[in-house]
Structure 1
Amino acid sequence: MLPTFLTRITYVLLAALLFTSCGKQQTLQGIFNQPTSPHEAYARRLRQAGLDRTALGRDWLAAADQALRDSLVVTLPFEETGYFRAERATAASYRYAVRAGETVRVSLTLAVATQAHVFLDAFELRPDRSTPTLLASADTANLAFSYVAQDDQQHLLRVQPELLRTGRYTLRIQRAPSLGFPVQGKTDAAVGSFWGADRDQGARSHEGIDIFAGRGTPAIAAAAGYITRVMETPVGGKVVWLADAEHGQHLYYAHLDRQLVQLGQKVRLGDTLGLIGNTGNARTTVPHLHFGIYRSGRGAVDPFPYVRRPDAEPQAPRSGPNRPGQWVRVREKSADLRRSPSFKADVLTKIPRHTALFVLGAQADWYRVEYPGGGIGYLPVQATNATLEPLRRETLPAITDLLAQPFLGAPQLDSLPARSTVAVLGEYGLYRLVRSQNGEVGWLLSTPKKSST
């Protein structure tokens, strides 16, 4: 049901906008270095239709901007079921840390009954830039894209539906390597010496990783490309250099027992370049591959994020009641609303007992909730009631306005008649979250007499 405060003219304009933007099925797309993202195109159409001059249109644009400035923090791998509602223009945003060389995979699936156009945008946040940099976008009923992180930075993912849509989604963010593993039959568990370790009694640091394997184990191409050097040096011993043109970098294989490629040779991912040994300054050690990555204009970088094993499957939301899109109530004396789903995360505010909270998302043992005071954060599932049984029932002594939000001037949902009975589901200051006799849920500012229960 549309809120009563949405004017008829706004609805007519909005219906026209939604028809033009969603009349055709969109195809899955990952957009890189494109001047206009689907989200930006929709915002432009919204302005052209004059909806930026309506309250709902302004709220949608403001929510999109606010999401880039005020995000919650999550740890990868990550999965959350989320909810958006038609009567409120909102956008969810999640901030996460990435390492250069990691492939970030993002997917969002809408629930079967959800008919909505959703915009999914990934941004890089840099302290030296005032605005986030768009990395990738998608907008379809089954969203997915991936991109390779270029630097160790904070990234942000924004999820925002078109106007006037209610529905549920499942969001997943995972990391994977951007290169293949350079030693046949091994994984990152075989890495025994990491980037930055001391060498020559601290005179220099290790500019790569050492991967230990038996002598004669194939060293393989971690990417497709061309062989640019096949040589022998005092330090690296028998070495091979592979140009990875797709990623703008060179891969360095050192201490080989044998080299099995030639200068200028084209190789595919997984082709054998040489055999593991301990030549050069590794002759006193057990056989291993020194693997390095040198990026154009940057020199040596840590190879580990490029070849680390993919993230395990993220922990799905807990079994039990499906709470996103529903109200819950704090059952303890007080509960901490946190910026991240971790007991070590910053506390945004303390929430008193019986406070009603709207669940926007759920992951593992945490809810992402909207606090009546306007804040959004994470709360442990165990801090809320398992069921939302009424605290009590109250009889209204006079005609009372049922409000959409707990503050003066909030939109009116209904007018409840005198002597009607409401079920009190939660509290916030002088306000009560109630369910009326016809099942409508909203807020009352009143201190009515209590009836017997």
Structure 2
Amino acid sequence: MRCLLFALIMIAGLASAARASEPPPGIAWQGDFIQGGLVIGVAQPGITLRLGGHAVPVAPDGHFVFGFGRDEAASVPLQIDYGDGRSISLALPVEQRQYHIQRIDGLPEVQVTPPPEVLDRIKRENEKIAAVRARGTPNLDFLQGWIWPAKGTVSGVYGSQRILNGHPKQPHYGLDIAAPKGTPVVATTDGVVVLAEPDLYYTGGTVIIDHGMGVTAAYLHMQTVLVKAGQRVRQGEQIGTVGATGRATGPHLDWRVNWFDVRIDPQRLLPKLRS
């Protein structure tokens, strides 16, 4: 992939960008310009980038990555500064998507709103998760590509949302893979474990792995957690087992990918399953 991207830089430098999604001179990229999409690129030395309200880190070798959220606007500004007084501002077009919305009424209130006595716990846990996702390490493990984290049946997809008793709940930001309890869960690509918790309120057994440059992956509702924070793991290495811990109605793995606080559609990163 790295050789391909550097070759694309040379091509990009020879032609002006006819469309906003085409890279400007000095930059090459490939990926999904769609809500939930992830884009990987390479920039020539001295270039700095800013996407909307986010500074886009650029590695010493020029690699960078950015993503678009579930509800990203149809056009997102990208500022490119070349370090020599030149700058370009692009309006990146982002393809819009339709998501499945499900309404469920008549539920007991305890299934809709968490009890007051756990609100402080939820706040502490959310702050811990936000802190590890905010760190942007210089690793480039995300360049390796991705494999499926568990064997099973897709039971939930990115972007779907439930309205419970008339109250819109947070959209689902992950890929649910239903499988029996104890099914192995593996690291989808190389990285460093930055969070390993056996019992979070919402997500139960939870592992978050840092893949570099703001890209993290979370593995939720696991029955067992087999790694610890600070541990480096390899693609395909077992990190836990499928469970139904936390707020889960049955055994499954909820796998999520972020670019900092931007929620990425993880299924778009994976090879398609063979029938």
Tell me the TM-score normalised to structure 1 length.
0.32
Against the structure 1 CA distance between its residues 277 and 248, is the aligned structure 2 distance closer, same or farther, given a 3 Å change threshold? Answer: same
1:33 positional shift:
9.7
For 2:189, the equivalent position in structure 1 comes to 223
Against the structure 1 CA distance between its residues 39 and 223, is the aligned structure 2 distance closer, same or farther, given a 3 Å change threshold? Answer: same
Structure 1: distance between partners of 2:208 and 2:162: 22
2:76 touches 2:94 (CA, 8 Å); kept in 1? no
Alignment equivalent of 2:256, drawn from 282, 292, 307: 292
Against the structure 1 CA distance between its residues 304 and 131, is the aligned structure 2 distance closer, same or farther, given a 3 Å change threshold? Answer: same
For 1:68, the equivalent position in structure 2 comes to 18
Aligned to 2:4, the other structure's residue is in SS state coil
1:179 positional shift:
1.6
Unaligned runs of 5+ in 2: 20-30, 42-73, 81-91, 97-143
1:226 touches 1:243 (CA, 8 Å); kept in 2? yes
Against the structure 1 CA distance between its residues 193 and 310, is the aligned structure 2 distance closer, same or farther, given a 3 Å change threshold? Answer: closer
Structure 2: distance between partners of 1:217 and 1:253: 13
For 1:181, the equivalent position in structure 2 comes to 148
1:248 positional shift:
3.0
Alignment equivalent of 1:305, drawn from 265, 268, 271: 268
Aligned to 1:244, the other structure's residue is in SS state strand
2:76 touches 2:93 (CA, 8 Å); kept in 1? no
Aligned to 1:215, the other structure's residue is in SS state coil
Answering whether residue 205 of structure 2 is matched by residue 238 of structure 1, we say yes
1:272 positional shift:
0.5
Aligned to 2:180, the other structure's residue is in SS state coil
For 1:211, the equivalent position in structure 2 comes to 177
Greater RCO, CA 8 A, separation 6+: 2
Structure 1: distance between partners of 2:201 and 2:227: 20
Structure 1: distance between partners of 2:203 and 2:267: 19
- In structure 1, give the amino acid aligned to 2:202: V
Unaligned runs of 5+ in 1: 1-27, 41-63, 70-95, 105-125, 133-149, 155-176, 313-453
Q: Note the alpha carbon deviations across 1:227-267, whole angstroms, 9 max, x for none.
A: 1111121110111111111x631111111011111111110
**1:21-420 maps to which residues of 2 (within 5 A)?**
29-32=3-6, 36-37=10-11, 40=14, 68=18, 99=34, 100-101=37-38, 152=94, 178-183=145-150, 185-186=151-152, 190-199=153-162, 201=164, 202-231=168-197, 232-245=199-212, 248-282=214-248, 285-296=249-260, 298-309=261-272
Aligned to 1:226, the other structure's residue is in SS state strand
1:200 positional shift:
6.3
Structure 1: distance between partners of 2:93 and 2:273: 18
RMSD: 4.2
1:102 touches 1:305 (CA, 8 Å); kept in 2? no
Structure 2: distance between partners of 1:127 and 1:311: 35
1:181 positional shift:
0.9
Structure 1: distance between partners of 2:218 and 2:93: 20
Structure 2: distance between partners of 1:131 and 1:278: 44
1:30 positional shift:
2.1
Tell me the TM-score normalised to structure 2 length.
0.50
Q: Note the alpha carbon deviations across 1:55-94, whole angstroms, 9 max, x for none.
A: xxxxxxxxx66x936xxxxxxxxxxxxxxxxxxxxxxxxx
For 2:124, the equivalent position in structure 1 comes to none
Against the structure 1 CA distance between its residues 249 and 302, is the aligned structure 2 distance closer, same or farther, given a 3 Å change threshold? Answer: same
Identity %: 25
Q: Note the alpha carbon deviations across 1:87-135, whole angstroms, 9 max, x for none.
A: xxxxxxxxx975423889xxxxxxxxxxxxxxxxxxxxx9567999xxx
2:159 touches 2:171 (CA, 8 Å); kept in 1? yes
Structure 2: distance between partners of 1:290 and 1:151: 29
Against the structure 1 CA distance between its residues 68 and 256, is the aligned structure 2 distance closer, same or farther, given a 3 Å change threshold? Answer: same
Structure 2: distance between partners of 1:33 and 1:248: 25
Aligned to 1:255, the other structure's residue is in SS state strand
Structure 1: distance between partners of 2:271 and 2:76: 28
1:102 touches 1:306 (CA, 8 Å); kept in 2? no
- In structure 2, give the amino acid aligned to 1:290: D
1:35 positional shift:
6.7
2:75 touches 2:94 (CA, 8 Å); kept in 1? no
Q: Which has the larger radius of gyration?
A: 1
